[in-house]
Amino acid sequence: MDFMDNYNLWLEKAVEDKDLITELKSIKDDEKEIYERFYRSLEFGTAGLRGVIGAGTNRMNIYVVRQATQGLANYVLNKYGKGAVAISHDSRIKADLFMNEAAKVLAANGIKVYITSELQPTPVLSYLVRYFKCQAGIMVTASHNPAKYNGYKAYGEDGCQMTDVAADAVYEEISKLDMFEDVKTMDLNEALDKGLVEYVGDEVYTSYIEEVKKQQVNPGVCAGADLKVVYTPLNGCGNKLVRRILKEIGVKDVTIVKEQELPDGNFTTCPYPNPEYKEALQKGLELCEEVKPDLLLATDPDSDRVGIAVKDHDGSYRLITGNEDGIMLTDYILSNRKANGTLPEKPVVVKTIVTSKLVEKLCEKYGAELKNVLTGFKYIGEVILGLEKNNEEDRYMFGFEESYGYLSGTYVRDKDAVVASMLICEMAATYKKQGKTLAQVIDGLYEEFGYYMNKTLSFEFDGAEGMQKMADIMSNLRDNAPAEISGKKVVKTADYKLSVEKDILTGEEKTIDLPKSNVLQYNLDGEHMVIVRPSGTEPKIKIYLTAVGADKADASDIIDELASAVEKILGV
């Protein structure tokens, strides 16, 4: 259908949400704006849906949500004959509306729905899927994107985000549907009365918290450690459960960043609510100067990721990267469980291919098996599932990705800022009793293994032209692979889309035993590395740089040189 025809159809049919009609009428003479909303449909993939809130097939709205949910309902009924689905949401604009609309569609299809009465962290949704033995799950969130975005993450019966196979099957069902004619829906109150929709009880959240507490490495260490924490939920959904878990493990001195305490999808104090960025943590850092805590915790809007800042040697507050936090937690868990006699034989640690190579050194030190997986926490979840099928889930120690996502334990299959916040505080308390700060801990690991510095570059490509530009960049890199980057020879390449790893020095090629993904990797002399990857959830190309130096200054110089060289190669 022509985009203008589609626009006119929406003017006629999209009458249930007045905001959409107002928006559509406001752009009636602007062909470019109409095109941006209708030139394509939001694609359903392993990350579900994600887009700007608004009118049109290329926006997040009740009609796109309903169509996706009808496709999911058809998939569940085709595969299982019947089913149950858990749904939750975070603090984003219209997130509760989208949750309710999805519930109404599923109920109209005879599928039992468990929904939350208030916003909950993404890992809780993963937990609900397994707790209620559901066939699927939906989390309405756009994670750390700016306020204008919302999204729809879909989960399988294992509590992991959907695999490629399942997502493709759901997308095929969605593609068959006319969003105005082929979607079933029913009144929510009627669905509640008939028992097709049921609210999750408080006892379920208590059982989740108990599972989180089982992941403690040194239970009781926080009591008497006098740990002082500043915490910000960044106007998201971590406030209740993060504060609850900290209180239950004995962290009593917690100061909340008041401007960011309550749910607010406008994120007025942090326009980009991503704990990877200093700007998002600025209010927390300002409070740290007043309160003088041991550390700052910041969970993102759907509370599956956490960032921290710690007191440095000079009393200032130092941002800890996602890699650094993961390195410290890996070392803390392995070393303390070994000392406690609770480290199993053949322990397993999982990280993504773009995450710090320093983890390899830690696994060698403690005799752990390291599994590298593609970017996306569902792949870490798949490793857990594989261990579980062999009755070896106790071997799983820790999994993380550089973008501040961590998981200890197998009670959920997604990254969890609640358990990560608990473990970070426990780790800080343990070292505080030894007279050490977390800044000293990470510096000590660098002294032991070398200074591994990581940096992520992100380039945005908005709109239809941007999507084509991203495709052209990746195609050009495949056709014209660099022989060197910043004067450092490329010694090995890996193309995860073609599943081929090549040793440039010997010419030997190996098959990469991972799912295909549009990722290119260049290993350089001196253990340095460059990885190029289009984002699966945002219109961006991300570049992951690794530099290994003798010290921070050395590594910093190398990474700056790599960044400059990569920008020239990409032409951005």
Residues 6 or more apart whose CB falls under 8 angstroms from that of 288 comprise 230, 296, 309, 317
State the first-to-last Cα distance of the chain, in angstroms, to the nearest integer.
34
Q: Are 70 and 105 in contact (CB under 8 A)?
A: yes
Catalytic residue among 143, 356, 486, 517: 143
Q: Are 174 and 67 in contact (CB under 8 A)?
A: yes
173 burial level (CB within 10 Å; 0-12, 13-18, 19+)? buried
Residue 143: active-site member:
yes
278-286 — which CB contacts under 8 Å span 24+ positions?
278/319, 280/234, 280/307, 281/232, 281/307, 281/309, 281/319, 283/232, 283/257, 283/259, 284/230, 284/231, 284/232, 284/257, 284/260, 284/309, 285/309, 285/317
Q: Map tokens 């003017």 to a residue.
A: 11
Within 10 A of 45 (CB to CB), how many other CB atoms are there?
18
Residue 350 and residue 479: Cα distance in Å, rounded? 32
Beta-bridge partner residues of 112: 84
Rg (CA), the chain: 24
Which of 158, 121, 167, 168 minimizes the C-alpha distance to 140? 121
Task: Provide the annotated active-site residues.
Answer: 143
